[in-house]
Amino acid sequence: MAHERVLIVEDELTQITLLDGVITRAGFTSEKAMSGAEAVKRLLDQTLPKVDVVLLDLMMPGMNGIEVLESIRPKHPNLPVVMLTAHSSINTVVDAMRAGANDFIVKPASAERIRTAIEASLKTSALVGEIPMSGQMRGTTDTAGFESLVGTSPAMQKAVKLARKAASANIPVLIEGESGVGKEVFARAIHAASDRKDTPFVAVNCGAIPENLVESILFGHEKGAFTGATERRIGKFQEANGGTLFLDEVGELPLDVQVKLLRAIQEKEIDPVGGKQSIRVDIRIVSATNRNLANLVAEGAFREDLYYRLNVFPILLPPLRDRRADIPALTEHFLTQISKMEGVPRRKITPDVQSLLSSYDWPGNIRQLQNALFRAVILSDGETLSQSDFPHLMGQPLPMPTQAVEPVHFGRAAPHVEIMPQGGAILVLHGADGHIKPLAELEAEIIRLTLLKYDGRMAEVARRLGIGRSTLYRKVAEYGLGELDKGHLI
């Protein structure tokens, strides 16, 4: 009998009761949350039992399903989430999948459909798990250097050139980039190419540590220092002594810990929790973040003096969508690696699959590509992968042509906006009556224009407009911008 825990996130009591019955009869443990905020709080609380699958309603008051996904994905990148909704349009499916949903169920659904979705999600989760990002390298050891990195695109080579320079000096390095671009891979390559290559490389994800344990994990603690400290433990700084300490997601550190991190860097010594004397350490700091630390400094969420200590040598890693030329090589590398890891025949791909992979925007970057290929290989029946093995990638528009033969017009709802072949745009402020159009109408046209310009890439559109993704999703729904002509979907 299965004991996996399924969290139902649904605001309607009737639906919760029905889903609870289906889940418990299938042999799973059921848990319930009646709002998005309650679900996020539950999933981010690491003191509670692990949740194996989430059944998440898309439309809820307050925090909707997409906002829930955006909140939990940084801490739970591989937690299976099955989206539930009464709306079955292709745009709804695409929005849910882009936000990180693993499956999609239209309500009302049969008990068999729900049970099958849960079992498939559990199977995929068990098979894929968290594939180490070192898989981007051709080698499998921590000592693989820059020559082992996959990719020859200009954006990749620029980043590698900077990283090589960083490796030759013993200064702090700050690696910036979106989640999944391979920041730890670069950190390991910098370590392997430095004069510390034969010393420890210790990685710690600052965003995954419970706040009350951050100081203890980084600096260690003495026996009896706090409740539960039954023995002395050394921290990550001491583990990395003589080598390199990689602080991933350093922007997530609490302010009080930032003070102690700054002292450790400046004085080259640490103070274990409950300790009576400082301990000298010799380490090189390489940190990484997917957030804008300068903005966090301006908001008072990150210390300015620590920022300048860490940001001595910044390196910005490009997202995968900006290095599409590397996708074929990465695909071939991962297919070979997965074959060796799982002991299965090496899968081949068809040209249309390669075209699909190269045109997809990969919001989760290299990690998402790696996991997508892993999932396809494990769940496919044949030796050649087809587009049907990547259902979660279908529906994304192909990149717009670099040249257009005529202006591309929006649909009937926005006759006053057009994109010219050169990419310029004209936004008409006056309506047919000669008066300035309402602000909401102008806002809708601006959003529509931006969606088309950036091929419906919601993260990029939100960034260009200077608004949050959840706000963008809400406005897209509010203004009915679900579909553009020319086959472009958001």
3-state secondary structure of 284: strand
* Window from 65-74, 89-98, 298-307 with minimum mean pLDDT: 89-98
Position 229 scores a pLDDT of: 64
Q: What is the mean pLDDT of the chain?
A: 77
Is residue 175 within 8 Å of 183, Cβ to Cβ? yes
Which residue ranges form the domains of the chain, and what is each CATH number?
5-128 (3.40.50.2300), 135-318 (3.40.50.300), 323-393 (1.10.8.60), 408-478 (1.10.10.60)
DSSP assignment of 112-140 equals HHHHHHHHHHHHHHHHHS---GGGGBSS-
Position 215 scores a pLDDT of: 81
Position 124 scores a pLDDT of: 54
Question: Cα(first)–Cα(last) distance of the chain, in Å?
Answer: 42
Confidence category of residue 412, pLDDT binned at 50, 70, 90: very low
Position 115 scores a pLDDT of: 83
Confidence category of residue 91, pLDDT binned at 50, 70, 90: low
Residue range 206-260, pLDDT digits in tens:
876 767 777 888 888 777 776 666 677 788 888 888 899 999 888 888 888 899 8
Q: Which amino acid is at 39?
A: A
In this structure, what are the phi and psi dihedrals at residue 144, rounded to the nearest 5 degrees?
-65, 135
User: Does pLDDT of 143 surpass 50?
Assistant: no
pLDDT cut 90: percent of the chain above it: 14
User: Does pLDDT of 440 surpass 70?
Assistant: yes
3-state secondary structure of 101: coil
Rounded mean pLDDT, 130-145: 41
Distance CA 480, CA 451 (A): 13
Residue 213 has, within 13 A of its CA and on its CB side, a CA count of: 15
Position 140 scores a pLDDT of: 32
Output the CA angle 309-315-316, nearest 5 degrees.
Answer: 125
Distance CA 390, CA 380 (A): 10
Token pair for 304: 């300015």
Is residue 390 within 8 Å of 372, Cβ to Cβ? yes
Position 308 scores a pLDDT of: 92
Position 328 scores a pLDDT of: 92
Is residue 404 within 8 Å of 220, Cβ to Cβ? no
Residue 321: C-alpha distances to residues 66, 99, 155 (Å): 22, 17, 11
Residue range 150-171, pLDDT digits in tens:
888 888 889 888 988 888 888 8
Contacts (Cβ under 8 Å, ≥6 apart) of 27: 1, 2, 3
Number of C-beta neighbours around residue 30 at 10 A: 18
Position 310 scores a pLDDT of: 92
Confidence category of residue 59, pLDDT binned at 50, 70, 90: confident
Percent helix / strand / coil, the chain, rounded to 5? 45, 15, 40
User: Does pLDDT of 109 surpass 90?
Assistant: no
Rounded mean pLDDT, 460-472: 76
Rounded mean pLDDT, 98-107: 71
Residue range 3-54, pLDDT digits in tens:
789 999 998 887 888 888 888 888 889 999 999 899 999 998 878 888 989 9
Which has the closest alpha carbon to 71: 102, 47, 38, 24? 38
Is residue 489 within 8 Å of 395, Cβ to Cβ? yes
pTM of the entire structure?
A: 0.53
pLDDT cut 70: percent of the chain above it: 79
Parallel, antiparallel, or unpaired: how do β-strands 284-289 and 313-316 relate?
Answer: unpaired
Residue range 259-317, pLDDT digits in tens:
989 998 888 888 888 777 888 988 999 999 988 899 999 989 999 999 999 999 999 99
Confidence category of residue 147, pLDDT binned at 50, 70, 90: confident
Torsion region of 249: left, alpha or beta (phi above 0 gives left; psi -120 to 50 gives alpha): left
Position 55 scores a pLDDT of: 92
Residue range 333-377, pLDDT digits in tens:
889 888 887 777 889 998 999 999 998 888 888 888 888 888 788
Facing residues of 145 across strands?
none
Is residue 485 within 8 Å of 409, Cβ to Cβ? yes
Distance CA 355, CA 11 (A): 40
Q: Which of the pair, 122 or 443, is modelled with greater confidence? A: 443
